[in-house]
């Protein structure tokens, strides 16, 4: 069997998504297919072919991601990876991911990132779990705050075009504040965030788009939908499903969640893809009522060690020497002297302070996983005194990594 990898065009989007739709047992959505063709960010569509039949595929978004300290790094966002069930266990997935990583390096994208459907797949390719995604489900009548927001904002429901104009500036103000957030083009907003999308809503009502203004300036926004249900006594037992809620300031965050918690005809408010340090944990009077649960979020694969380490800020200026192993990409292996104050890493022959593989470095990169936690899990070896403590001071981030959408 000879498998050929081919670069597909936007006009071949229907063929490209065939493996992922088959894997999920889903039907093609013509409107979504047409919209995705407009996304310049979907810069690579690789199909794996057995003769003239597509048997696997992998795409790549060209993204820009916030790093600790408010900087940014070009990222290759691995997406829509699937192999047809007729061609499993034949090395097709391995070929697709290695092609993706080669392309990322050639394009000057020092990081690849993804949301994993099955986490066991990607660890063997050097991806490390870098963030947690949390979900909440709180009864509306138990959603009191410890203290109210302290200022009155004005809430307005918007149409799609109005929402684009109001939401994008709020996002741009919020984006530098948390590692893991992504830059969004106008097309990205239009195609992926603001559409009244049945797949996102999963059977709910129309997508609602609300902005909170303070002194006439947009300070926060949310997208949500209503899932109405009534019990046998005609008491509403439905829910508000929050798709995305973003505040450009702490005040904006408090005001938008107060709005969401006060929506009538809902028994519960539900949201997902929140960071573990979201302010709601301290805002609500009964935190356990949030029923907070966590799952894996972003996975990060370092493609170019020196470029990736230069693209983030550090919490101290202490030097640290890392000995990194990378069985899949030998160009990443070796010893690197990290100078936190200068935001650079250079190859060195000095004795290492820490020994780790590329997977562990990916986990630590955004500041969401500590070196102490990695050491406790046997994924980092300390070779000098206080090496773990120094590494954690260097890589700390003021906020947990947060990516409010799956790409």
Please give the annotated binding residues, written as ranges: 81-83, 89-94, 117-118
Place of tokens 């300390």: 382
**Residues 363, 369: contact at Cβ < 8 Å?**
yes
Residues catalogued as catalytic: 122, 407
**Residues 72, 51: contact at Cβ < 8 Å?**
no
Distance CA 267, CA 366 (A): 36
Mapped onto helix, strand or coil, the DSSP state of residue 241 is strand
Distance CA 113, CA 302 (A): 9
Q: Give the strand pairing for 268-274 and 380-382.
A: unpaired
Interacting residues of 304 by C-beta distance below 8 A, sequence separation 6+: 105, 110, 331, 332
Distance CA 146, CA 305 (A): 44
Q: Alpha helices, DSSP H only, in 60-114?
A: 92-106
Distance CA 38, CA 15 (A): 16
Distance CA 354, CA 379 (A): 10
Complete DSSP assignment for 282-351: HHBS-GGGG--EEEE-EEEEES-HHHHHTTS--S---EEEEEEE-SS-GGG-EEEEEEGGGTEEEE--SP
What secondary structure letter does DSSP report for 377?
Answer: T
Query: Would you list which residues are annotated within the binding site for acetyl-CoA?
Result: 81-83, 89-94, 117-118
SS3 per-residue string spanning 29-70:
CHHHHHHHHCCCCEEEEEEEEECCEEEEEEEEEEEEEEECCC
Long-range contacts of 172-176 (CB under 8 A, 24+ apart): 173/248, 173/249, 174/246, 174/247, 174/248, 175/66, 176/66, 176/70
From residue 201, how far is each of 146, 205, 243 by CA, in Å?
31, 7, 8
């Amino acid at each position: 069997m000879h498998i050929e990898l081919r670069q597909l065009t936007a006009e071949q989007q229907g063929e490209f998504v065939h493996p992922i739709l088959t894997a999920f047992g889903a039907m093609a959505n013509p409107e979504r297919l047409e919209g995705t063709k407009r996304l310049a960010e979907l810069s690579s569509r690789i199909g794996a072919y057995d003769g003239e039949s597509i048997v696997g595929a992998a795409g790549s978004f060209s993204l820009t991601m916030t790093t600790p300290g408010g900087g940014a790094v070009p990222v290759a966002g691995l997406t829509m990876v699937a192999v047809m069930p007729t061609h499993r266990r034949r090395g097709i997935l391995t070929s697709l991911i290695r092609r993706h990583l080669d392309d990322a390096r050639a394009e000057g994208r020092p990081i690849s990132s993804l949301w994993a459907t099955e986490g066991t797949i990607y660890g063997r390719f050097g991806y490390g779990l870098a963030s947690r995604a949390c979900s909440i489900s709180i009864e509306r009548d138990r959603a009191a705050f410890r203290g109210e927001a302290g200022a009155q904002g004005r809430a307005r429901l918007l149409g799609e075009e109005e929402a684009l104009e109001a939401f994008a500036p709020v996002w741009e103000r919020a984006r530098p504040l948390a590692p893991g957030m992504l830059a969004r083009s106008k097309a990205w907003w239009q195609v992926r965030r603001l559409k009244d999308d049945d797949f996102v809503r999963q059977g709910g009502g129309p997508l609602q788009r609300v902005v909170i203004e303070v002194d006439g300036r947009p300070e926060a926004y949310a997208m949500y939908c209503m899932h109405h249900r009534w019990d046998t006594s005609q008491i509403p037992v439905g829910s508000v499903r929050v798709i995305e809620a973003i505040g450009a300031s702490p005040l904006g965050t408090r005001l938008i969640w107060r709005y969401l918690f006060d929506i009538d005809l809902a028994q519960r408010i539900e949201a997902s893809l929140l960071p573990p340090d979201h302010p709601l944990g301290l805002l609500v009077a009964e935190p356990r009522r949030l029923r907070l649960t966590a799952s894996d979020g972003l996975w990060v694969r370092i493609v170019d060690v020196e470029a990736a380490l230069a693209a983030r800020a550090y919490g101290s200026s202490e030097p640290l020497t890392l000995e990194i192993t990378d069985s899949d990409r030998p160009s990443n292996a070796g010893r690197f002297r990290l100078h936190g104050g200068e935001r650079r890493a250079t190859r060195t022959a000095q004795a290492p302070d820490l020994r780790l593989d590329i997977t562990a470095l990916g986990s630590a990169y955004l500041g969401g996983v500590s070196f102490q936690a990695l050491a406790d899990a046997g994924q980092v070896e300390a070779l000098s005194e206080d090496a773990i403590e120094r590494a954690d001071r260097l890589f700390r981030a003021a906020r947990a990594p947060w990516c409010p959408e799956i790409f």
